[in-house]
Amino acid sequence: MNRCEVLRVEEVTAGYDNTAALERVSFSVFGGEQVAVVGPNGAGKSTLFKVIAGLLPLRVGRVRVMGCDPHREPVEISYVTQQGEVDFSFPVTAADVVMMGRIGRMGWLRWPSRQDREVVRRALAQVGIQDLADRQIGELSGGQQQRVFIARALAQEAEILLMDEPFAGVDATSEQAILDLLERFKEGGITILLSTHDLNLAADRFDRVLLLNREVIAYGPPQEVFCPDVLHRAYGGQLAVWEHERGLVMLGDGHCSMGEEVAR
Q: Which of 34, 46, 146, 156 binds ligand ADP (CB under 6 A)?
A: 46
Q: Does 41 bind ligand ADP (CB under 6 A)?
A: yes
In this chain, which stretch among 41-49, 96-104, 221-229, 252-260 interacts with ligand ADP, using CB under 6 A? 41-49
Tell me whether residue 39 or residue 54 sits nearer to ligand ADP (CB atom).
Answer: 39
Q: Does 39 bind ligand ADP (CB under 6 A)?
A: yes
Helix (H) or strand (E) holding 118: helix 114-126
Burial of 132 (0-12, 13-18, 19+ CB in 10 A): buried
In this chain, which stretch among 39-47, 64-72, 96-104, 184-192 interacts with ligand ADP, using CB under 6 A? 39-47
Tell me whether residue 82 or residue 144 sits nearer to ligand ADP (CB atom).
Answer: 82
Query: What 8-state DSSP symbol labels residue 63?
Result: E
As a whole number of angstroms, the distance between CA 141 and CA 145 comes to: 6
- With the C-alpha atoms ordered 106, 180, 42, 63, is the resulting torsion angle positive or negative? negative
Q: How far is the CB of 228 from ligand ADP (least distance, A)?
A: 21
Q: Does 53 bind ligand ADP (CB under 6 A)?
A: no
Tell me whether residue 34 or residue 81 sits nearer to ligand ADP (CB atom).
Answer: 81
The alpha-helical segments, DSSP class H, found in 193-227 are 199-205, 222-225
Widest Cα–Cα separation across the chain:
62
Tell me whether residue 41 or residue 89 sits nearer to ligand ADP (CB atom).
Answer: 41
- Give residues 1-30 in contact with ligand ADP (rule: CB under 6 A): 16, 21
Q: Which of 34, 45, 51, 58 binds ligand ADP (CB under 6 A)?
A: 45
Q: Is 123 helix (H, G, I), strand (E, B) or coil?
A: helix
Tell me whether residue 46 or residue 156 sits nearer to ligand ADP (CB atom).
Answer: 46
As a whole number of angstroms, the distance between CA 215 and CA 205 comes to: 23
Number of residues that bind ligand ADP (CB under 6 A): 10
| Cα–Cα distances in angstroms (integers) from residue 85 to residues 88, 131, 143, 146, 147, in the given order | 9, 25, 14, 11, 15
Q: Which of 25, 32, 44, 219 binds ligand ADP (CB under 6 A)?
A: 44
Tell me whether residue 17 or residue 73 sits nearer to ligand ADP (CB atom).
Answer: 17
Which of 96, 138, 91 has the alpha carbon at shortest distance from 116? 96
As a whole number of angstroms, the distance between CA 100 and CA 30 comes to: 28
Contact set with ligand ADP (CB under 6 A): 16, 21, 39, 41-47
